[in-house]
Amino acid sequence: MERPPGKVSFDNRGRVAIVTGVAGGIGWAIAQGFADSGATVYGLDLGAAPAVDERIVVVNADVSDRAQVESSVARIIGKTGGVDVLVNNAAIQPVDSFRPLHQIEPQLLEQMLRINVGGYNWVARSVLPQMIQQQSGVIVNLASAHAWRSSRDVPGYGPTKAANRMQAVQWALDYARQGVRVVSVSPGAIDTPLVRASLEKQGGEGALANRHPLGRLGKPEEIAAAVIWLASPGASFVTATDLEVDGGLGGFGSFADPYMMPSRYEKG
């Protein structure tokens, strides 16, 4: 007999949220989650949103370009009068980046640093003066399981995600007495276009899913749920820390016996 799972709801009416990287699966799910709960939502991205949602205003901006970020955020604050939540999510992990450091193209490595690390800096730097003036605000950095432990051939992505986690810790300590909380979220493998583009490099969907004790890839909506809780009053004593939303991946030792492959991934 199935037991009731329970239900959580949030009320973000009157709040303003900025989400970067809304052209991707996780960013779009987060933006929709805030819109569903009543927030005014702005997305920053160079790419087009995956769907049309009139509740989400997508601003064309390159997060690695400080001037573009500053002008975009200034326009948003000018229209709304404030900003309550920033979700730093825009990041890249091109298929060509899955190689050892001495083989990765220097231009690609520099691009990953500019977007994955520099972009987080520029957007946070642009919203912080307003949050300090308000004496309130929440910044959530999307990190990764790679922020805690790594794998072979991710010399660009892994270190940038570790940097995102430490950015959150640093900013949290610097702005705690100005009413600003800062946290990070470290997803496991989530079923997004970014992950699907590199499935072959990661052993295929079944092998990747089976590394997680829950035996599946995560859903973008599951990351969005964690982010929205962290940005809520329910998490008002949570700052300078990371929430791993990874299906148990981080707790599973490399020395442990592997799980049996879930039946849905077994080859007939």
Supply the CATH number for residue 63's domain.
Answer: 3.40.50.720
Determine, yes or no, domain membership for 157.
yes
Question: What is residue 139's predicted lDDT score, i.e. its pLDDT?
Answer: 99
Query: What is the helix (H) or strand (E) element at residue 28, kind and residue range?
Result: helix 25-36
With respect to residue 5, please indicate whether it lies within any of the assigned structural domains.
no
Q: How many CA atoms lie within 13 A of 125 on its CB side?
A: 15
Asked, for residue 92, whether it belongs to a domain, the answer is: yes
157 part of the active site: yes
Whether 254 is in a domain gets the answer no
Query: Edge-to-edge strands of the sheet including 180-187?
Result: 56-60, 40-45, 16-20, 85-88, 137-142, 180-187, 242-245
The number of domains in the chain is: 1
With respect to residue 31, please indicate whether it lies within any of the assigned structural domains.
yes
Q: Which domain holds residue 209?
A: 16-249
* CA-closest candidate to residue 224, choices 64, 41, 4, 14: 41
Domain contains 232: yes
Which one of 42, 120, 157, 175 is the catalytic residue? Answer: 157
Q: Which is nearest to 223 in space by CA: 195, 253, 262?
A: 195
d(C-alpha 107, C-alpha 143), whole Å: 22
* Structure confidence at residue 37 (pLDDT): 98
In order along the chain (268 residues), what is the average pLDDT of each group of 10 residues? 93 98 95 98 94 94 98 98 98 93 97 98 98 98 95 94 98 98 97 84 87 95 98 98 97 91 81
Burial of 132 (0-12, 13-18, 19+ CB in 10 A): middle
pLDDT value, residue 195: 86
Integer-rounded Cα radius of gyration of the chain: 18
User: How far is Cα 51 from Cα 257, in angstroms, rounded to an integer?
Assistant: 42
Residue 161 located in a structural domain: yes
CA distances from 127 to 7, 33, 41, 85, 130 (A): 32, 21, 14, 9, 6
**Is 84 inside a domain boundary?**
yes
DSSP 30: H
pLDDT at residue 194, rounded to an integer: 78
Q: H or E element: which one contains 58?
A: strand 56-60
Question: What distances in angstroms separate CA 241 from CA 164, 167, 220, 235, 253, one per listed residue?
Answer: 12, 11, 21, 12, 22
